[in-house]
C-alpha cells in the first residue's frame, strides 16, 4: 500500500474503503462477510474508511466490526453530517451523537458536510451556527478534520472551497469527469491550498467497467497493458499527485485484494503518452454516444438566469452514453436539487451563452431538448417534491 499525507501530515492509504456497498443479507448487512472484507483491507494497509449517516446500516456495521477486531487505533473513520436534514443547531448535536453511538467511538477523524452542491447550502448551515459548532467539536477532540463532499459545478466548488478553512474535501472525479463537477480545476485548486482531496465515484458507479462501448474496450485491450477496465480508472487517478485517497465501494475479498494490488503499484506521474492516448480513444468512444458536443469548458457561463448549461448537457449526454436512468439520476443530484434553481426552463433566450461557445452549440435549442429528456412528467413532479421537502425549512426561516 502507498500513502499520501493529509493536511496535518498524517498518512492516508491511497485506497480508501467506501462502506456504502456492503453486501445485504435479509433487510440488513451481511456483517460477517463485510468483516472479512474490511479485515483483508486493513491487513493490506488500508486505513481510510468512509461511511455516512444515510447509508443504511453502514455506520453501525462499521462500528461493530471495528470494535470486534480492536482496530480503532489502526484506521481513520470518515462520516458525514446529513446537512440537508438540519434546520437548527440542536439537530447538529443530535445527528452527530447518533453517529458516534452507531460507530462506537468517541471521535470522527474526518467529518464531512454531506452533498453540498452550491454555496447557498453552506450559507444555510452557517446561519444556524455550524462554524462555532465545528470549532467546539474540534477543541473537544470529537472531530479531528472537517470537510465537505461535493456534487455541483466547478464555480460553486471553488466558492465553497474559498469560504472556509477546510481540512479536506471529497469530489466525484474520474477520467470522464475531468472537466465536470469540481473537475481537474477544483482538484488543483484544493491541492494548491494544501487541502487533501478524497475521490468518490472513481469508476462512475461502475459505469467505466460495465457500460463501456465496444470501441472503448477494444482500445484498452489493444494497448497491450493487460490492465482491467477498473485498473485504467484507478491508475489514471493515482497518476495525479493532487489526488490523496481514492474510495472504492468494495464488496468481495477478491475486489479488495485486486484494488490493494493496484494501490501498491500505481505511481504519480507514471502514465506514458501511449497510456494517455489510449484513454483519449476510450473517452472519444464514450462521447460518440453523446447528444451534445459540449466539452464542459464553461465559456458560456455564468448565465444571467442561473441556468447550469454544461451541467445540463453533461447529464443529457449521460442518458445516451450510460443509461437514461443514470443521466436523470445525475441531473437530480447536480442540477435538480441545488438550492438556487438552475433549470433550462429559466432560460430567457438572450443568446449571450452562444456567443461564447467554442463548439458553436445552439445552446438555447439544445437546452429545450435536454430538459424534455431529463425531466419528463413523473421526474418533474418528483424533483419538485424533493425540492419542496429539502428547502421548505430554509424558506420558513428565511435562511
Q: Which among 175, 174, 166, 158 has a CA at the least distance from the CA of 196?
A: 166
Stretch touching ligand SF4 by CB under 6 A, among 84-92, 154-162, 274-282, 352-360: 352-360
Nearer to ligand SF4, 304 or 376 (CB): 304
- Scan residues 210-269 and list those touching ligand SF4 (CB under 6 A): none
How big is the site for ligand SF4, counted in residues (CB under 6 A)?
A: 27
Residues 38-97 that bind ligand SF4 (CB under 6 A): none
- Residues 321-350 within binding reach of ligand SF4 (CB under 6 A): 347-350
* DSSP-derived secondary structure letter, 31: H
Binding to ligand SF4, residues 274-303 (CB under 6 A): 294-300, 303
* Pick 13 or 154: Cβ nearer ligand SF4: 154
- Among 34, 12, 32, smallest CA distance to 21 is for 34
Q: Nearer to ligand SF4 by C-beta: 127 or 348?
A: 348
| Contact flag: residue 108 with ligand SF4 (CB under 6 A) | no
Question: Cβ 286 to ligand SF4, closest distance in Å?
Answer: 16
Residue among 222 and 350 whose Cβ is closer to ligand SF4: 350
Which of the ranges 132-140, 237-245, 264-272, 359-367 carries the binding residues for ligand SF4, by CB under 6 A? 359-367
Locate cell 428565511: which residue? 398
Cα–Cα dist 41/1, whole Å: 10
Applying CB under 6 A, does 309 fall inside the site for ligand SF4? yes
| Near ligand SF4 by CB under 6 A: residue from 217, 225, 305, 393 | 305
Strands 15-18 and 11-13, bridge-based pairing: unpaired
Judged by phi (left if over 0) then psi (alpha if -120 to 50, else beta), residue 30 lies in beta
Of 23, 101, 280, 359, the one binding ligand SF4 (CB under 6 A) is: 359
- Say whether 195 sits in a helix, a strand or coil: coil
352 binds ligand SF4 per the rule CB under 6 A = yes
Q: Which residues of 72-86 are buried (b: 16+ CB within 10 A; e: fewer)?
A: beebbbbbbbebbeb
d(C-alpha 68, C-alpha 61), whole Å: 11
d(CA 111, CA 220): 37
Residue with grid cell 473537544, as numbered in its chain? 140
Q: Are residues 82 and 52 in contact, defined by beta-carbon separation less than 8 angstroms?
A: yes
224: helix, strand or coil: coil
User: Binding ligand SF4 by CB under 6 A: which of 310, 311, 327, 336?
Assistant: 310
Which positions touch ligand SF4 (CB under 6 A)?
294-300, 303-305, 307, 309-310, 313, 347-353, 356-357, 359, 361, 363-364
Amino acid at each position: 500500500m502507498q500513502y499520501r499525507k493529509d493536511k496535518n501530515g498524517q498518512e492516508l492509504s491511497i485506497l480508501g474503503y467506501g462502506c456504502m456497498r456492503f453486501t445485504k443479507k435479509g433487510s440488513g448487512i451481511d456483517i460477517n462477510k463485510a468483516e472479512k472484507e474490511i479485515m483483508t483491507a486493513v491487513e493490506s494497509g488500508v486505513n481510510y474508511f468512509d461511511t455516512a449517516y444515510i447509508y443504511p446500516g453502514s455506520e453501525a456495521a462499521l462500528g461493530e466490526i471495528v470494535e470486534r477486531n480492536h482496530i480503532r487505533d489502526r484506521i481513520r473513520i470518515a462520516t458525514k453530517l446529513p446537512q440537508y436534514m438540519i434546520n437548527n443547531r440542536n439537530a447538529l448535536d443530535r445527528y452527530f451523537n447518533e453517529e458516534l453511538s452507531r460507530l462506537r467511538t468517541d471521535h470522527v477523524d474526518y467529518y464531512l458536510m454531506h452533498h453540498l452542491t452550491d454555496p447557498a447550502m453552506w450559507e444555510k448551515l452557517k446561519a444556524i451556527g455550524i462554524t462555532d459548532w465545528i470549532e467546539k467539536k474540534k477543541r473537544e477532540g470529537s472531530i479531528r478534520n472537517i470537510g465537505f463532499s461535493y456534487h455541483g459545478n466547478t464555480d460553486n466548488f471553488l466558492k465553497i472551497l474559498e469560504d472556509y478553512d477546510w481540512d479536506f474535501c471529497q469530489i466525484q472525479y474520474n477520467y470522464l469527469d475531468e472537466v465536470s463537477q469540481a473537475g481537474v480545476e477544483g482538484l488543483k485548486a484544493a491541492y494548491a491550498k494544501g487541502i487533501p482531496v478524497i475521490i468518490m465515484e472513481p469508476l462512475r458507479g461502475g459505469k467505466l467497467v460495465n457500460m463501456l462501448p465496444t470501441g472503448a474496450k477494444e482500445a484498452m485491450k489493444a494497448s497491450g497493458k493487460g490492465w482491467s477496465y477498473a485498473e485504467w480508472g484507478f491508475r489514471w487517478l493515482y497518476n495525479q499527485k493532487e489526488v490523496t485517497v481514492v474510495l472504492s465501494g468494495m464488496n468481495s475479498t477478491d475486489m479488495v485484494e485486486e484494488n490493494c494490488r493496484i494501490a501498491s503499484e500505481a505511481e504519480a506521474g507514471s502514465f506514458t503518452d501511449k497510456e494517455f492516448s489510449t484513454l483519449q480513444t476510450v473517452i472519444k468512444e464514450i462521447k460518440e454516444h453523446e447528444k451534445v458536443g459540449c466539452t464542459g469548458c464553461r465559456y458560456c457561463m455564468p448565465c444571467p438566469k442561473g441556468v447550469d448549461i454544461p451541467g445540463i448537457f453533461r447529464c443529457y449526454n449521460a442518458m445516451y452514453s450510460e443509461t437514461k436512468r443514470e443521466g436523470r439520476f445525475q441531473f437530480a443530484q447536480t442540477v435538480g436539487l441545488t438550492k438556487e434553481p438552475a433549470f433550462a426552463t429559466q432560460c430567457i433566450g438572450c443568446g449571450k451563452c452562444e456567443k461564447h461557445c467554442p463548439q458553436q452549440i445552439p445552446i438555447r435549442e439544445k437546452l429545450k431538448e435536454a430538459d424534455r429528456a431529463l425531466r419528463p412528467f413523473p421526474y418533474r413532479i418528483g424533483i419538485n417534491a424533493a425540492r419542496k421537502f429539502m428547502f421548505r425549512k430554509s424558506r420558513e426561516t428565511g435562511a
